A and B are shown apart, each in its own frame.
Chain A
Amino acid sequence: MSDYTTIIDSYKDKPGGIIEAYHALQKEYNYIPEDAITAAAEAFGMSPAQAYGVATFYSYFKVGPRGRYIIRICESAPCHVAGAEEVVSALESELGIKMGETTADGKFTLEFTECVGQCQATPIITINSKPYEDMSAEKIPAVLAEYK
């Protein structure tokens, strides 16, 4: 594993930079490695408890491994009435996992999210933050094929 300390150190002098450092770690690993929390605590002069507190407060951060591609399904009201539930079922059956789980090959993770701000074309899913508009159960296989 490439060393996360280098990543963390490059944000050390930024006031309040721990959140930026966590973003950079996630860009590299797709999650925040557990050991990196302790390293971040030291770099930013916090207790490990505080550094954990920050990492676990925000829903886009995840401590510990998850899939390479994070598929998020918006379940806020506009997506809810537009049929988000059918999209959820299609994703679950296509990938053979339930919401919150990761495929055995470590490739895909399914997560619920609240509004992602693309409400002109509901329901919306995002894959590693890239939005896919006007989703439907029928469109899911083609979208997933891009990543398989």
Chain B
Amino acid sequence: MAEEMRIVLRNVGKIDPLKIEDYINAGGYKSLEKARGMDRGELIEEVKKSNLRGRGGAGFNCGMKWSFSYKLETDQKYVVCNADEGEPGTYKDRIIMMNDPQSLFEGMAICGYAIGSNKGYIYCRGEYPYVVEHLNKAIAQAKDKGVLGDFDIEVRMGAGAYVCGEESALIESIEGHRGEPRFKPPFPGVEGLWGKPTIVNNVETFANIPVILEKGAEWFKNIGAASYPGTKVLTLTGDVVNRTYFEVPTNVTIRDVVFGLGGGIVDNKKFKAVQIGGTSGGFIPEELLDTQIDFDSMSKIGAALGTGAVFVMDETRDIVDIVTRITKFFEHESCGKCNPCREGTKRMHEMVERINNGTGRVADMDLLENLGGVMSVACLCGLGQAAPAPVLTTLKHFKNEFNAKLN
């Protein structure tokens, strides 16, 4: 059976998050000190070598991302932490920020030193005003202690827009605009916040950095799956016995997660499906449960690790009803900037809802597949590209449930 392995959650329950001395006594800020004694290029090389890949969903090599900004000569660069976790079923970043905020700051400050930036922003979602307050208290302590040196961190709060989890939309929001994604390239690493090179990483990604520096890239890259090493914090929801969070090495299987740590299905009912990575993730049927949760294994089965949300559905759940709810989510959260997403999410919801109501047409099934295919390539940002995944994967694995509502 899978066992937990705590890297980013190493201090949870062991330190008082609002007592910086606790963090320092647990070895905190030693990695920042070590980093500052290193050559910047070598530091980035070390992060790159660890093969730490983004934990927000996109899975890009973290050190590689840093290297894009590092190379540029400019008067100002920025480090931005994406704490806008809006994927339904996800609350891992809240757990990290509430339990170990200094770990996040240390990771950001290491990034700041590496790329040559003295200013960091944490963009925290508007649903978490209590997290913002908590972070501000913790930042004040770090400033008092002087542990961050000349690196400044400021918290900005979002206001309820899922799309702001997309890095360029998030940057627009910090700039005080509507949170609409930008055309890329240029990527934020080259031209980001106020046109300056900007590294945007997820909370969980930053929280890994101090440990990688402490124990070395070699140690880290041997944990979990080779192509996506380390651990992942998962949050379990739905019809699973243990509705809680776990941190596991990335080579555990979905079955281990749901039936091992998750404790199986509530009331001993049968498993029907699991959706991983948030509401934009694919639905996974029983026969694919032995897949490893790492980024590439999940991509191979047409699913995603995403944020690590694990939404379990038992045999009694109505897949088409749940997918209807999900398509409504995307219609609501589409920012409206690009046509394929604005119109596509609306029509997709319309058709799925029709099928769910019993007024669908057989032709809707083909139209849905066609529309989903177009959206996944034609939408401007990840929101629209991922929005059809729940529809397309359920049409593939649970087509009988759609058919049943057509007759």
Q: Give me the interface of A with B, judged by CB distance under 8 Å.
A: 15-20, 22-23, 44, 50, 53-54, 57-61, 75-78, 80-82, 113-122, 126, 129
Contacts and interface: CB of A to CB of B under 8 A. Distances in A.
21 contacts: A16-B175, A17-B176, A19-B156, A54-B177, A57-B161, A57-B178, A58-B179, A61-B160, A77-B326, A113-B160, A115-B89, A115-B90, A117-B85, A117-B128, A118-B91, A119-B90, A120-B237, A120-B243, A120-B244, A120-B245, A122-B237
A47 to B, nearest CB: 12
B160 A19 contact: no
A119 B322 contact: no
B55 interface: no
A59 B334 CA distance: 12
Contacts of A114: 86, 88, 160, 162, 329, 332-333
Contacts of B85: 117
Contacts of A23: 126, 157, 159
Given A16-B175, A118-B91, A120-B244, A22 B239 contact: no
A138 B131 CA distance: 29
B182 to A, nearest CB: 15
Contact of A120 (B91, B127, B175): B91
Contacts of B160: 58-61, 113-114
Contacts of B313: 81
Interface residues of B, number: 49
A78 B156 contact: no
B159 A116 contact: no
B376 interface: no
Interface in B148-201: 156-162, 173-179, 194
Interface in B51-78: none
Contact of A78 (B179, B237, B245): B237
A60 B126 contact: yes
Given A60-B126, A119-B235, A129-B129, A77 B88 contact: yes
A116 B366 CA distance: 34
A59 B125 CA distance: 12
A15 B78 CA distance: 13
A16 B89 contact: no
Contacts of A77: 88-89, 275, 279, 311, 322, 325-326, 329
A54 B178 contact: yes
Residue among A60, A80, A115 having the largest count of chain B Cβ atoms under 10 Å: A115
B127 A80 contact: no
B87 interface: yes
A44 B329 CA distance: 32
Given A77-B275, A119-B88, 19 more contacts: A15-B176, A18-B176, A50-B177, A54-B178, A57-B178, A57-B335, A58-B158, A61-B160, A77-B89, A77-B325, A78-B311, A80-B325, A81-B239, A82-B238, A113-B127, A120-B244, A122-B237, A122-B243, A129-B127
